[in-house]
């Protein structure tokens, strides 16, 4: 079974939305979280969806799932204080529905609505081949490292630099083992699942699956307006076939 694990437990402080979590902001009348869920709903190789949502809006999330007929959702759980804790909660729920040792999870942000079925399929296939699959985009600009946050201490070679995005995909049993090791080490604020796997899992060098640069996470108002344009462009392609 291939399970999409969607974490949507954020409150969107950087979006300045006056209390509305960013995943429920609307673009052209549709909540961002629904754009994301519809991708996995329509993907042929996704069998089920598990969501970790913000506790104050769980009933609203469930009402949206019903309204938009997202039939693959098998569980909605409360998220945690951090993104990692939300993922852990959703992974535990996925485990309760798991069918075999070979079940695969695709961990994805609820506010990352611009991916396609090709990327989903490539993630699944690469997990089968390599055990892991981290969606990444090639870095197009100079990347500077600065531990002082004041001085340029190192410049990475651009051709060797990528930006990790999502989905980040694993065998369910492997990422659960890594997360439980992280819990044992009281390390519950890792930046993403790739970091958890690299630090605590059986794969020290997770496999890269290259994705498109428009696979952005909506975090700031600027991201929102860029995503709005990109989603409208995608809709026009569907209508006009261009």
Residues of the chain with pLDDT under 70: 10-18, 236-242
Query: E-strand spans in 9-88?
Result: 26-27, 30-31, 48-53, 73-78
> For position 15, what pLDDT does the model report?
53
Summary mean pLDDT of the chain = 92
Tell me the pTM: 0.93
Asked: is 2-236 a CATH 3.40.228.10 domain? The reply is no
DSSP annotation string for 82-134: SHHHHHHHHHHHHHHH--STT-EEEEEETT-----HHHHHHHHHHHHHHSEEE
Domain ranges of the chain: 2-236
């Amino acid at each position: 079974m291939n399970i999409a694990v969607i974490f949507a437990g954020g409150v969107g402080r950087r979006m300045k939305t006056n209390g509305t979590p960013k995943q429920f902001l609307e673009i052209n009348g549709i909540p961002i979280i629904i754009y994301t869920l519809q991708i996995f709903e329509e993907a042929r190789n996704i069998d089920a969806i598990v969501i970790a949502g913000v506790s104050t809006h769980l009933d609203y999330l469930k009402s949206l799932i019903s309204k938009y007929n997202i039939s693959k959702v098998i569980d909605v759980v409360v998220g945690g204080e951090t993104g990692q804790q939300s993922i852990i909660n959703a992974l535990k729920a996925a485990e309760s529905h798991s069918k075999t040792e070979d079940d695969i999870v695709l961990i994805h942000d609820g506010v990352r609505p611009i991916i396609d079925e090709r990327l989903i399929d490539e993630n699944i296939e690469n997990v089968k081949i390599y055990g892991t699959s981290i969606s990444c985009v090639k870095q197009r600009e100079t990347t500077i490292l600065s531990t002082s946050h004041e001085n340029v201490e190192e410049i990475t070679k651009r051709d060797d630099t990528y930006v990790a995005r999502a989905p980040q995909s694993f065998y369910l049993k492997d990422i659960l083992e890594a997360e439980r090791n992280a819990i044992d080490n009281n390390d519950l604020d890792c930046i993403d699942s790739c970091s958890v796997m690299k630090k605590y899992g059986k794969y020290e060098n997770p496999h890269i699956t290259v994705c498109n640069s428009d696979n952005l996470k909506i975090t700031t108002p600027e991201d929102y307006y860029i995503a709005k344009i990109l989603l409208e462009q995608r809709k026009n392609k569907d209508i006009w076939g261009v």
